[in-house]
Amino acid sequence: MEKAGGSSPEEQVTGILRRHGTDPSLLLPILQEVQKRFHRVPPRLEDAIAAHLSLPRSHVEGVVDFYHFLSHERRGEYDILLSNCIIDRFHGQQAIQQRLARELDTPPGRVRGDGRVSIGETSCTGLCDQGPAALVNGRAVPALDEHRVTQMVSLVESGVPLERWPEAMFRVDDNVCQPGPLLKSGLTPGEALNAALGGGPENLLQQLEQSGLRGRGGAGFPTGMKWRLCREAAGEHYLICNADEGEPGTFKDRELLRLHAHALFEGMTLGAWITGAEKGFLYLRGEYRFLREALERILDERRDCGLLGESICGVNGFRFDITIRMGAGAYICGEESALLESLEGNRPRPRNRPPYPITSGFRGKPTLVNNVETFVAAAFVALYGSSWLTSIGTDASPGSKLISISGDCARPGIYEFPFGTSVEEILEACGADSPMGVQVGGPSGSYITPQEFHRRLAFEDLSTGGSFMVFGRERDLLEIVENFTAFFAHESCGFCTPCRVGTAMQNRLLKRIRNGEETGAEALELLRQLRETMIGASHCGLGKSASNPVFDMLEKEPRVLSARATSRGRVR
């Protein structure tokens, strides 16, 4: 079964290994290729991979076992993973999944007897504006409806290779509903670089500082300060763009990567100029593989016109290039130090900090890590000056923010709002009619009830990496919260006790409450105890925020729980 082209699996792996070389940090790309070829990473080939990279065998096994898109067990020739994001759920994911399972005669979580197909679930694929969505052998198939399911079933049954499936099945819409200064700005390749080179590095740093630009990945660290601190750190430097975009309901980087790739790479190149980094990575989440080819093309274009490579813009010694590296289904890789571990070929568990990446990042060297949107905004600040940002927004949050809106509204998609815009105004813009509430910032963010719709989008009020989920009045809050707790339990890296066990316990308790197996009072007490411990003792942001949805529900809509408890009573 594992034979292709006549050569043995061992020979094929030797080919893959030879092409990649012996740098152990290339373990993940090697494993991804092996997985693609064999629909798994065959355990007996792990020895060869380990030996080739001079790694312990157990290291390879531990890495394979971590990522959702890698497996020791064989998956189907067609491996179908449906996004179980709450928005996809509400758009009928479960019914679609059941139908696929029935028509393909493949129970979810299993591989069909003949090895042809397997069906499973995966965390949010970043297509909630056009869901329900699935990944077929890693390729995104949005907008699943009955027609598309029928089509998929017949393509699978007749064994049509994925490359020959109708292109329309993979078409992802832009869905830009409301562009603002960032989405409307454009640059001709090299324009921002040339503008900055003229003024010198100190001038660019000052522009960035004066602009008040803050990181768009969630934490909001001042970008100018980060670039300056990283520049001042001694030694060889690296630069990374974080395009892991894993927070459920976030898909704004998806569009920036399509519509503003030049501005992004220009921002990264500016970062390289400031810090002296000669090597950069774009860490792209595995779910966005469909973006890769176009991005590689744009990188080539930039190499061709001297905007990457040696002597960039004709400046002697200005040397920089960018490599795209793919994630493999792990939300934790969005956390910057876990991302670094992933790039180095290790199990992606967040590092102890300090030191921070600006002084000790990739391979222990100073590393500049920024979000996609941050690099794009930095490029425009370089081109238009700090006032491009300060002319709108609030004092503490200058500029605008890209928001990806999904859920129960007339026009889900990408919106750009000045900081300071209220939830009310956003709901109006996307056509949401008196919803039950909105989840701002994804499961790690906050649940906002109508009483709080006056609150504003800003670092000083409602902070979000870009996720904005609208829930209509017919939705079951308990189902939402249970879904969020399942997400965290699935994505916890497992390193530290409070999060590894706490996220699983939370999810278990929520399930029991939903099933009426647990009364309010006792479960509430345990959930509170868990929250305190998870916030107080977790190693990284995932564990510290994983109890937010539960707590929001308890505090803001306590009736949801008590109604469930009294209506069902306790069944043991």
Ligand X SMILES: Cc1cc2nc3c(=O)[nH]c(=O)nc-3n(C[C@H](O)[C@H](O)[C@H](O)COP(=O)(O)O)c2cc1C
What is the contact mask toward ligand SF4 in residues 531 to 550, using x (rule: CB under 6 A)? -------xxx-xx-------
Q: Is 451 exposed, middle or buried (0-12, 13-18, 19+ CB in 10 A)?
A: exposed
| Footprint (CB under 6 A) of ligand SF4, residues 31-50 | none
Part of the chain binding ligand X (CB under 6 A), chosen from 120-128, 135-143, 217-225, 525-533: 217-225
Query: 223-232 vs 372-384: helix axis angle to the nearest 10?
Result: 90
Can residue 65 be called a binding residue for another protein (CB under 8 A)?
yes
Out of 499, 530, 554, 565, which residue is the one contacting ligand SF4 (CB under 6 A)?
Answer: 499
Can residue 497 be called a binding residue for another protein (CB under 8 A)?
yes
Residue whose CB is less far from ligand SF4, 389 or 542: 542
User: Rounded CA gap, 86 and 477, in Å?
Assistant: 11
Closest separation between CB of residue 416 and ligand SF4, Å? 31
Strand-pairing partners, residue 416, are: 402
User: Rounded CA gap, 569 and 572, in Å?
Assistant: 10
Strand-pairing partners, residue 368, are: 239
Residue whose CB is less far from ligand X, 118 or 545: 545
Selection from 508, 505, 500 nearest residue 530 by Cα: 505
Out of 39, 75, 112, 216, which residue is the one contacting ligand X (CB under 6 A)?
Answer: 216
What is the contact mask toward ligand X in residues 529 to 558, using x (rule: CB under 6 A)? -----------xxx----------------
Give the Å distances, CA to CA, from 79 to 1, 101, 122, 484.
16, 12, 11, 24
Residue 9 backbone phi and psi in degrees, to 5: -55, -40
What is the contact mask toward another protein in residues 26 to 55, using x (rule: CB under 8 A)? ---------------------x--------
Closest separation between CB of residue 77 and ligand X, Å? 31
Structure tokens at 406: 């999904």
Using DSSP's 3-state secondary structure scheme, residue 551 falls into helix
Out of 20, 24, 33, 57, which residue is the one contacting another protein (CB under 8 A)?
Answer: 57
Decide which of ligand SF4, another protein, ligand X, none touches 91; Cβ closer than 5 to 8 Å per partner kind.
none
The string of DSSP letters for 247-313 reads STT--HHHHHHHHSHHHHHHHHHHHHHHH---EEEEEE-GGGGGGHHHHHHHHHHHHHTTSSBSSGG
Closest separation between CB of residue 547 and ligand SF4, Å? 11
Residues near ligand X (CB under 6 A), total:
22
| Footprint (CB under 6 A) of ligand SF4, residues 288-347 | 332
- Quote the DSSP letter at residue 321: E
Out of 496, 513, 546, 561, which residue is the one contacting another protein (CB under 8 A)?
Answer: 496
Residues near ligand SF4 (CB under 6 A), total:
15
Closest separation between CB of residue 283 and ligand X, Å? 9
| Footprint (CB under 6 A) of ligand SF4, residues 346-365 | 349-350
- Residue whose token pair is 């990522």: 67
CB 144 within 8 A of CB 30: no
Out of 242, 421, 503, 548, which residue is the one contacting another protein (CB under 8 A)?
Answer: 503
User: Rounded CA gap, 14 and 220, in Å?
Assistant: 45
Give the Å distances, CA to CA, from 304 to 101, 116, 307, 321, 433.
48, 43, 8, 12, 50
Site residues (vs another protein, CB under 8 A)? 47, 56-59, 61-62, 64-66, 330, 347, 352, 489-498, 500-505, 508-509, 512, 522, 525-526, 529-530, 532-533, 536-539
Which residues are at the interface with ligand SF4 (CB under 6 A)? Answer: 332, 349-350, 492-496, 499-500, 538-540, 542-543
